Amino acid sequence: MKILLLDLDTLRPDHLGCYGYSRNTSPNIDKIAEQGIRFNNYYCSDAPCLPSRSALMTGRFGIHTGVVGHGGTAADQRIEGEIRAMSDANSRDNLPSLIRKYGYHTTLISSFAERHSAWWFYAGFNEIYNVGKRGMESAEEITPNVLKWIDNNKDKDNWFLHVNYWDPHTPYRAPKEFGNPFENEPMLELEWITDEVLEKHKRKIGPHSASELSMYDNQAPSIFPRMLGEITNQKELKETIDGYDCGIKYMDGHIGQILKALEDNNMTDDLAIIVTADHGENMGELGIYGEHATADYPNCRIPMIIRWPNCQGGREDNTFHYNLDLIPTIKDLLGKLPVERVNTKITGRVHKAKWDGSSYAKTILSGEEEGRDYLVISQCAHTCQRGVRFDKWLYIHTYHDGYHLFDDEMLFNIEEDPQEQFNVAAEYPEICHEAVYKLHKWHKEMMKTSDSQIDPLWTVIAEGGPFHAKGHLKEYCERLEETGRGYGIEELKRRHPREFE
> How many other CB atoms are there within 10 angstroms of residue 75's CB atom?
22
Instruction: Note the pLDDT of residue 95.
Output: 98
The answer to whether residue 34 scores a pLDDT higher than 50 is yes
Instruction: Note the pLDDT of residue 209.
Output: 97
Over the chain, what is the mean pLDDT? 95
**Is CATH 3.40.720.10 the classification given to domain 2-338+348-462?**
yes
pLDDT 10s digits, 452-465: 999 999 999 999 99
pLDDT 10s digits, 182-197: 999 999 999 999 999 9
pLDDT 10s digits, 7-18: 999 999 999 999
The answer to whether residue 103 scores a pLDDT higher than 90 is yes
pLDDT 10s digits, 309-353: 999 999 999 999 999 999 999 999 999 988 655 454 544 555 678
pLDDT 10s digits, 350-372: 567 899 999 999 999 999 999 99
The answer to whether residue 229 scores a pLDDT higher than 50 is yes
Instruction: Note the pLDDT of residue 338.
Output: 82
Query: Nearest-CA neighbor of 124 among 353, 307, 303, 356?
Result: 353
Residue 363, H or E segment: helix 361-366
Instruction: Note the pLDDT of residue 349.
Output: 55
Instruction: Note the pLDDT of residue 85.
Output: 87
3 state SS of 55: helix
Q: What is the domain partition of the chain in residue ranges?
A: 2-338+348-462
Which residues, at least 6 apart from 444, have a Cβ–Cβ distance to it below 8 Å? none
Residue 297, H or E segment: helix 297-300
Query: What are the beta bridge partners of residue 111?
Result: none
Query: Nearest-CA neighbor of 258 among 377, 161, 120, 117?
Result: 161
Instruction: Note the pLDDT of residue 344.
Output: 46
Whether pTM exceeds 0.85 = yes
Per-residue exposure over 253-287, b if at least 16 CB sit within 10 Å of its own CB, e if not: bbbbbbbebbeeeebbeebbbbbbbbbbbbbbbbb
Query: What are the beta bridge partners of residue 291?
Result: 282
Q: For 106-110, 184-188, 207-211, 346-350, which range has the lowest pLDDT when averaged over its residues? A: 346-350
Q: Work out the percent of the chain whose per-residue pLDDT is above 90.
A: 93
pLDDT 10s digits, 44-96: 999 999 999 999 999 999 999 999 999 999 999 999 998 888 889 999 999 99
Q: Is 465 in contact with 431 (CB distance < 8 Å)? A: no
Instruction: Note the pLDDT of residue 83.
Output: 85
pLDDT 10s digits, 429-451: 999 999 999 999 999 999 999 99
Instruction: Note the pLDDT of residue 346.
Output: 46
The answer to whether residue 127 scores a pLDDT higher than 70 is yes
